[in-house]
């Protein structure tokens, strides 16, 4: 290649602010949902199995305590080592994972316990077995049932919140997102492959999709942005957990102050009006 020839490599392209957020959300040292759960909650008692097929290792559910509240906590597990990540499908749930989560939610509802979910996944697991066991139905069932839960519900997008796989755990009274987290219907790489037939245009796609915390907040897809330490949550896990702790407690106390009917009406109104936009004729 001559010196005057254009270099189309990723290194030669200017990194957009949106892509900086993508890299921070995917940082190898970024705290995963279970890292936050271990720091924010006590007496975590895990619930296993969906009572239909098996126990999805990509999803953890358990009763716990949070500032005096008895709550249900749900989070996806990505794993640390490569072997563990493969076993957990890199944090992408199978249908039995969503069914386990819903079973745990119904138990929490029975005992009037708030539900808190942590989300860091690019989407539901797309494997053949998952489709054969009813992945789409499991996600759809969660959307329906979560919309009707009579207890306070809060979802926290701590890394990537991807597509229906994330939404199946995020039909909640409050949706919080960490400052450098993402919320999207498709990954930037997949979007670029469809729109420009080249995944190398991922930075362009990330900018066009409006997937950063600030942008999805403007669209009404989330309710609050949780600040992170300078440089991202991976730079100081304890400080990041502390910032999330105070924000989570604030919203939980707000929801507890509402009646059940008020919460349900606000939840319905939020999801009916989500991401609306208007253009002048």
- HEC per residue, the chain: CCCCCCCCCCCCCCCCHHHHHHHHHCCCCCCCHHHHHHHHCEEEEEECCCCCCCCCCCEEEEEEEECCEEEEEEEECCCCCHHHHHHCHHHCCCHHHHHHHHHHHHHHHHCCCCEEEEEEECCCCCCHHHHHCCHHHHHHHHHHHHHHCCCCEEEEEEEEEEHHHHHCCCCCCEEEEECCCEEECCCHHHHHHHHCCCHHHHHHHHHHHCCEHHHHHHCCCCCEEECCCCCCHHHCHHHHHHHHHHHHHHHHHHHHCCCHHHHHHHHHHHHHCCCCCCCCC
What percentage of the chain carries pLDDT values higher than 70?
93
For 252-270, write each residue's pLDDT tens digit: 999 999 999 999 999 999 9
For 139-161, write each residue's pLDDT tens digit: 999 999 999 999 999 999 999 99
Judged by phi (left if over 0) then psi (alpha if -120 to 50, else beta), residue 15 lies in: beta
Q: Which of 45-49, 85-89, 90-94, 118-122 has the lowest mean pLDDT?
A: 85-89
Mean of pLDDT over the chain? 91
pLDDT of the residue at 132:
94
For 167-195, write each residue's pLDDT tens digit: 999 999 999 999 999 999 999 999 999 99
pLDDT of the residue at 16:
86
Using pLDDT thresholds of 50, 70 and 90, give the confidence band for residue 12.
very low
Q: Residue 3: is its pLDDT beyond 60? A: no
Least Cα distance to 263 among 154, 162, 124, 169 occurs for 154
Least Cα distance to 159 among 180, 176, 189 occurs for 180
pTM for the complete prediction? Answer: 0.89
For 20-51, write each residue's pLDDT tens digit: 999 999 998 999 999 999 999 999 999 999 99
């Amino acid at each position: 290649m001559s010196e005057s020839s254009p270099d189309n490599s990723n290194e030669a392209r200017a990194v957009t602010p949106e892509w900086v957020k993508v890299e921070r959300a995917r940082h190898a040292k970024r705290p995963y949902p279970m890292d936050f759960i271990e720091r924010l909650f006590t007496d975590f008692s895990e619930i296993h199995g969906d009572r239909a097929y098996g126990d999805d290792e990509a999803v953890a559910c358990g009763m716990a305590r949070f500032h005096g509240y008895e709550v249900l906590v749900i989070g996806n597990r990505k794993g640390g080592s490569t072997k563990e990540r493969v076993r957990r499908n890199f944090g992408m749930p199978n249908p039995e994972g969503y069914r386990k989560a819903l079973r745990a939610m119904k138990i929490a509802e029975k005992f009037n316990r708030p539900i808190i979910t942590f989300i860091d996944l690019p989407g539901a697991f797309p494997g053949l077995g998952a489709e054969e066991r009813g992945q789409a139905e499991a996600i759809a069932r969660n959307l329906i049932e979560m919309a009707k839960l009579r207890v306070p519900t809060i979802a926290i997008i701590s890394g990537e919140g991807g597509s229906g796989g994330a939404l199946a755990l995020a039909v909640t009274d409050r949706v919080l997102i960490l400052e450098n987290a993402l919320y999207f219907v498709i990954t930037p790489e997949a979007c670029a492959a469809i729109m420009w037939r080249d995944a190398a245009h991922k930075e362009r796609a990330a900018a066009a999709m409006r997937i950063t915390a600030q942008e999805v907040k403007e669209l009404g897809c989330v309710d609050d942005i949780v600040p992170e330490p300078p440089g991202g949550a991976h730079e100081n896990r304890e400080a990041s957990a502390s910032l999330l702790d105070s924000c989570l407690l604030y919203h939980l106390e707000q929801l507890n102050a509402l009646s059940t009917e008020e919460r349900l009406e606000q939840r319905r109104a939020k999801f009916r009006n989500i991401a609306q936009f208007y253009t002048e004729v």
